[in-house]
Structure 1
Amino acid sequence: MMKSIRSQLLIPIFAVVLPALAIIIYSNYERQHHDMEMVKAGALVMVQGLANDHEKDIEATSKFLMILARLPAIQTRDAAACNKLFRELLQDNNQYATIYAVDRDGKMFANAFSFSSISIKQRKYFQDAVQTKTFSAGEYTIGQITRRAVLPFAYPVMDSSGQVTGVVAVALDLEKYGKSFMKISHFPKGSTLNLLDRNYTRLYRYPYNEKYVGKPELPQIVKQLSTSAQEGVFSTVGVDGVKRLFAYKQFLLQNSSSPYLYIRIGIPEEQALAPAKKSFLRNLALVIVSLIAAILAAWLLGHILIVRRLDHLINASMKVGQGDFTTRTGIENTKGELGQLARSFDEMAQSLEKKELDRRQAVEALLESETKFKSYAEQALVGVYLLQDGVFKYVNPKFAQMFGYTVEECLENMPFKNLVYTEDIANVTEQIGKRTAGETDLIHYIFRGVKKNGQIVDVEIYGSSSIYEGRLAAAGTILDITERKQMEAVIREDKEKYQSILENIQEGYFEVDLKGNFTFCNDSMARLTGRTREELIGMNHKQFTNKETADKVFQEFNKVYMTGEPSRGFDWLIIRKDQTQGYIEASVTLKKDSSGKPIGFEGMVRDVTERKQTEEQIRHLATHDVLTDLPTMRLAKDRLKMAISSAERNKTMMAVMFIDLDDFKEVNDTLGHDAGDYVLKQVADRLLSCVRASDTVARVGGDEFLVIANGIHVPENAEQIAKKLINIVSQPIHFNGGQAVVGSSIGIALCPNDGQDMDHLIKQADEAMYRTKNAGKNSFSFASTGIK
């Protein structure tokens, strides 16, 4: 016996030691996994950084093409004007290989370079732009004119009716664009950078771009890119035979289901795993030594502390097995496991004696409970029954009365099926079977019963499992719910008709009294106001709109009240519960009682918020610069016209200042176009800070601005503004760790001194600006040479 126990002691020893060994080995594995995940995360962050820059570039390209598509020269296909414009724009946008425009049939009519007859009708990006009427991207190609590797982007040109009349496009210079990424991020040693088009053709690869550009990607990499998520990390062998961790990002245009571009960074896997492998080998040696020491120590201590004490416990258990419940182990009740086991033996006899006593008490309690149950059941106002083997073993008088029988008749081995309507027998049998089989304790169901005279009644059962003569039985109470079911059917029919009408109305529906207080609404109306139906009932229409709209709504309601004619299709500004605003279009009808007396109004509404927002956005884009949000020349001329009229009416002067930034081109050339855009935004903000709210600052060219200053009394007032503008513009502008400094050359024309014609004043200010440029820049000049 003792030999067997000692042998079995090895099981807990290994059970303790081996998990510890597994934990140590697993921790080494986790180190390798952690290092790999860190490299993966770093690679993914690098890809996401490049992706952010690319998405900004594509957004800028989309806006650039959208603005070009709306220009009159392109709308009217003025080839000469377009060619000139494209050449000028290409000088300031050297990331593009060329800019060009084609007609509806794909025939090119304008290009930044000289060209012969060229058609892009079969190009997918042209077809996508025409079909989707939105921004589209192409695939790798060699430009027919530039002979450079390019990636084209296109935007549809549409007439006033929304029909596509042509396409304006740019060709992204892939070599320049790929090199720009290398300036953005620092890549680990041995890393690669790949740009792929939608056909998995390499647009650019670092290093050795000339060797791999224009060639298809490896099949195993294509499979990963085409079947995985929009961004992620995977491991495989690259085109140069080196196994790397590749982090990638897919780019999709809006409303497109397939990517037009992939960016992928590869980091050598061997470099990522080297530290973890070295640590793993060192820890493995330490684990083996620790395992041997643990086994020897556990074997020795187990023999001393367990086996000797276990002998006493075995002797005591044998006596208890022979029926001697007074036996005690004689082992001290310590806190250890053996002490707890000894205490269990000591308590065993007392526990058996107590259980016998409890059994006798339970029998007495059961007899008392049966007596109380029969007393309650005989006087109950609901039917009570006990069912076993398909026949009733007990029913109370109310049960028998409910079905037209006597208690005696029910207990003469009457099958329960005699009281159940034929079509419901299967369901009732199943419910009884669940209780008599012990599958459920409590149950509730309804069925149709049959009285002794054949009358059908609706009854409701609340049942449970019970014990009768030592076996499971089904017990429960039964209620006659015939009248209740009839009333529920009538109510349900009326409610279904009413709800059907409301649920099939897609628009909002409401009713208000003559004071404008809501008396009823459907769920659609409540959702439009951002409230529940309960919150909306009792509110006045003025509580969720402004005063101007409330007055307008009152006029519409009053017109319906006075004429009796419905009002249709008026816009209604609403303020939702969360204070956001929206628009609804309402149609209102006068509501009358049975005598024809007006008692309120009822109406239908639909949500037109999106339409209103779109109209406002279109109006804003037509008169404001996309980059700086300053007014364009078109809006500036409208304000200039009003400023001239105001100066003439108030007998004052006003100034037109034409501003051209000095050395702005160097910012683009040295810091990049992102920096150039940032500088233009900062200059716009600084110009606004120097003028009053009644003055106007507009962007009228790439780096040209126009300031309209009202309320000028003497030329010195304009001079003060110009000096302030020059000073604040020349302050350094910081961008991504770099610094840009630009100056401003200003030309000033005064009204009425230099004329009162709008175009003449702008021309005078422009000429004065060029005199400033020629005189040394970063200063100002008046159109009237006599003013200093």
Structure 2
Amino acid sequence: MYVTHPDAGRILTSIDKANHSEVSMRQATSGFEGTGRSFTHTGKEAMVSYKPTNGVDWIVASVLPTDEVFHSAVQLRWESTLLALVLTSLLTPLACFIFYRALKPLRELGQKMIAATKDSSEQWRPSSFYSNDELGRLGRVFDSLMLERGRVVTELKQSHLVLQESEQRTRTITDSMPAVIGYIDLDHRYRFCNSAYKRFHGLQPEDMLGKTITEVFGDGVYNAFADCIEQALSGQRVSFERMVEQDGSVMCMQYEYVPDFDAYGVVRGFYSMGTDITAYKRAEQDLSSQQQLLRAVTDTLPALVTFVDKTGRIKFANRTHETWMRRPMHAIEGNLIGDLLGAQEMEIHQKHFTCALGGKVATFGFERQEADRIRHYQATYTPQFSAENDIIGVTCLVHDVTEAKLLERQLNVMARFDSLTGLPNRIQIKECISRAIDDNRDAQSLAAVMYLDLDSFKAINDTLGHQAGDLVLKEFGRRLAGCVRRSDTVGRLAGDEFVVILERLSNDSESTLVAEKILRAMEKPISINGVDRIVTTSIGIEMVSTEVNPSVETLLKAADEALYRSKQLGRNRYSFRSAAASV
């Protein structure tokens, strides 16, 4: 209960029975001690303090209105506020002036920045003075950046000028080229077209820029080449031919689509280049016709006609190869010549092939074993030159000369052998005498030349006929061959005149032994028309020593003179040119 209270009606009354109870009072009765905020019985805000007394269960409460407690503080607050207002009104202009002065360099820098955004020239004029603070350093950095910007702008303008000049040169070059050149982007739109579009397609290049392929040429053309376009945009190089009609004539155009990649390898479009290949196609057709004509002509030739390139690969072969080589054409053309020839045969051909590649015509003969006979061939390798005079290969012409070789041999036999007796004739006799002279000189030995004829041979022809005379000549030649060594030579000069050549003799007596053997051989009768008749011979001998080097004609003349001596001495004998040596 209240013990004392400004309100006398509350004294000795219970706190709970009061008309109202303060929260702070209930807290004090609950043991609270200290100061808190509450209200007076008149409802004013007040500061209330509670403290229990010692010895008596009383609580001393002190209530003091707030306005009385804080009157001095409130007075001081109002005075401070007034002073602050006065100071603010006085210092604000000063602060503004100071800030204005301090921010002047920043404003100037800002103005320079604004001016720089409007000025596109590369010439920048830096400040002549910088303050020694952050703004000064900022100004220096800005001016250095602007100077760098000016340099970059100058370089960009120069690069732009170079780019313009390069584009102009590119335009000039592409416009002067006899080809349709364009650039198409990923949207299938033309970004570049040269003036050839007007010449080839009747289109103005400037009207094509920005338009799609469909807008320029229509759906039909686009659909025809849509696959090629997609391949180019996928990164593949595409080549195709297209027929184009112009002024009533048809041209053959070859187009190349070349992808354009960026720095990361991504396709960003493709270049299109079309070239008029009508003349090339016509030349190709003409060349094909000429090749067909060439093959038709060469296929009928009885010879091998071949063109071999520098690597030794056969590029052309006529049909005769199939017959001669017994191979199909596909196994000949396109193959290396070494694959068709044996190693030994290739060695012969390679030498002459290399000679032809050196610019010289090579002609040679060779043989091949075919079945049961040897065939002879004559080859001519001729170098082939390009329009630039570079050797591009070799043309080979090979003839089968087997029959000619056989005929040549027959003619050689006929030219060097006597047709009646089969013995060497005058031509071969002279060759043998010349060879004997050289061989015996090298061997330091003697040789002998015998000149022989039949005694009274004219009487046989006149009485028995030429057929009987031929029989006697043949038999005489046979008996002479039987009287000499295999290394010696027996030949017929003409009529009944024969020659015997003896080589590598040790002395003169060896020749006399042969002469005597011949005389004895002729003692045997010869059957002529069923009648045996002895036919004798006379012999003249001329020795060949190593001390002299006589001519063939000189030796024959000397031997003939020795024969004449035998005739004078009575025939059927032999004589040397010296009378003392005659028998």
- TM-score range (shorter-chain normalised) is 0.3 to 0.5
TM-score normalised by L of structure 2: 0.40
TM-score normalised by L of structure 1: 0.30
